[in-house]
Amino acid sequence: MQDHIQLDQKQINDDLLAGVLGMPKWWLPAVLFLTLVVFAGLGSFGYMMNKGLGVTGLNRPVMWGFFIVNFVFWIGISHAGIMISAILRLTQAEWRRPVTRAAEVMTVFSLMAALHTPLFHVGRPWREMWVFPYDFARGVWPNVRSPFVWDPSAVGTYLIASSLFVFIALIPDLAVVRDRAVNPLVKKIYGTMCLGWRGTPRQWKLQAVAGILLSALVLPVFVSVHSIVSWDFAVLIGVEGWHSTIFAPYFIIGAIHSGVSAVAMLMALSVWLWGLDKYLRPDHFDAIGRLLIVVATTWFFFFFLEWVFALYTLEGVEISLRELQVFQWPYGMLFLIFLATAFFIPVPMWMFKSVRRSAFWMFFTTVLVNVGMWLERFLIIIPGLVRRQPFTFDWGTYHPSIIEILIVAETFAFVALGMLLFSKFFPLIPIFDIKEGMVVRDEIKIGRRIVPATIRE
């Protein structure tokens, strides 16, 4: 990092534990508001269970609407956390240090939020446990051939893996909280959670190895999860616009795009809400901005390829779907907004260093990206269903109801609430990682220049 502030361990502890050992003024009102939204959503779900799915806008032919768009969106967001954490660990990029834990925690809560929507969405939620093979007496087993059985195995694996990843990396920081806590009960709780961590060379070495090994193990899982979610659509031959082999990598690169943007949003919020500007420097925003340019451009190429091959066969049914998506109201307008917000506004802006180094502009552009990416999933799912061939007598429209809107809002509130509650009990920026960054920081003198350097073993 070119601009770096060298801090001592006590200062780091004080800064990064401020949210844990104290409480920022805005925290409680924010938590109360978010809890209200969550309850509103859960209440809507209860109402929906009581009255049936008819209270939503879902019907033939659009049997998948906001809920599934939201599901794919949150699975997408969940991807960046582990990707940033894992890939930046494996490439030993120094700028990862302040970012990894918030990203990993966002992954965990996004996955839980993503799981909300299909769990709420099925017609008979009380039968959901049947997707797991647990009951010998029933004599009925889940259909392994269905993508809807692959989904829980993948998302479940990813959720467990990410949670364990967060926990292992959290252990040294739990020890810091244990040592700083004044209340003996709090001390005992954190002491139990950190399993008696002392900071021996063996323990530190295993932390380093664990980081690399778990990163290497979780990356293949991360690739498989969104591929499997994409195959919910791509293996079907009944809906135009879905049966495309590119869906697996396309969804993943889209997930990385929206997820890395979400991490950038989190970084800006950390600076503004917790005052962590000594740890999240303009260099960090610059680095994530440059990563986003590459990711966004790659995503755009995949999007372009998907369209090329949709039109390649010149089949009437596919072309009429694409005409609906681009030229007909309201999909045409949404398509324009999607292209502008997901690529054409943010990427040219990110070409400018001053934009990349500013927390505000990074926040603004990444919010745009996520709006665009939510719309992208909407445009993949709903238009194809609206004009489902060959059942032209079924052609219909889709109008989301207040129930769906409340439940979607609940997922956003759930993730925000989860992050805020996490930040109250655990430090959002990994303390030992920052300390290690201070230790391995060095300088090299070349002529009159001082060049920042890193100690590598």
Range 220-249, binding another protein (CB under 8 A): 220-221, 223-224, 227-228, 231, 234-237, 243-249
Amino acid at 359: A
Report whether 62 contacts 386 (CB < 8 A): yes
In the set 214, 267, 268, 288, which binds another protein (CB under 8 A)?
214
Report whether 241 contacts 318 (CB < 8 A): yes
In the set 26, 92, 391, 402, which binds another protein (CB under 8 A)?
92
In the set 58, 82, 154, 403, which binds another protein (CB under 8 A)?
154
**Binding-residue pattern over the window 410 to 439 for another protein, x denoting contact by CB under 8 A:** ----------------------x--xx-xx
Range 306-335, binding another protein (CB under 8 A): 306, 308-314
Place of tokens 């004080």: 14
Amino acid at 438: M
Cα–Cα distances (Å) from 354 to 27, 275, 289, 349, 361, in that order, read 31, 21, 11, 9, 9
**Binding-residue pattern over the window 4 to 43 for another protein, x denoting contact by CB under 8 A:** ----xxx--x------------------------------
In the set 142, 320, 328, 405, which binds another protein (CB under 8 A)?
142
**Token pair recorded at residue 176:** 């810091």
Q: Counting Cβ atoms within 10 Å, is residue 351 exposed (0-12), middle (13-18) or buried (19+)?
A: exposed
Report whether 400 contacts 56 (CB < 8 A): yes
Report whether 20 contacts 425 (CB < 8 A): yes
In the set 67, 74, 190, 197, which binds another protein (CB under 8 A)?
197
In the set 29, 184, 201, 390, which binds another protein (CB under 8 A)?
201
Cα–Cα distances (Å) from 229 to 1, 74, 170, 264, 369, in that order, read 37, 11, 29, 24, 21
Nearest distance in Å: CB 125, another protein: 22
Q: Report residue 431: phi and psi, to 5°.
A: -65, -45
Binding status of residue 207 toward another protein by CB under 8 A? yes
Binding status of residue 195 toward another protein by CB under 8 A? yes
Total residues contacting another protein (rule CB under 8 A)? 101
Binding status of residue 303 toward another protein by CB under 8 A? no
Give the binding range for another protein (CB under 8 A) out of 63-71, 106-114, 210-218, 411-419: 210-218
In the set 129, 137, 140, 185, which binds another protein (CB under 8 A)?
140
In the set 38, 161, 347, 385, which binds another protein (CB under 8 A)?
161
Range 435-454, binding another protein (CB under 8 A): 435-436, 438-440, 442, 444, 446, 451-454
Nearest distance in Å: CB 181, another protein: 10
CA 237 – CA 48 distance, rounded (Å): 30
Binding status of residue 180 toward another protein by CB under 8 A? yes
Contacts of 358 (CB under 8 A, 6+ apart): 282, 285
Place of tokens 């003024």: 25
CA 284 – CA 269 distance, rounded (Å): 14
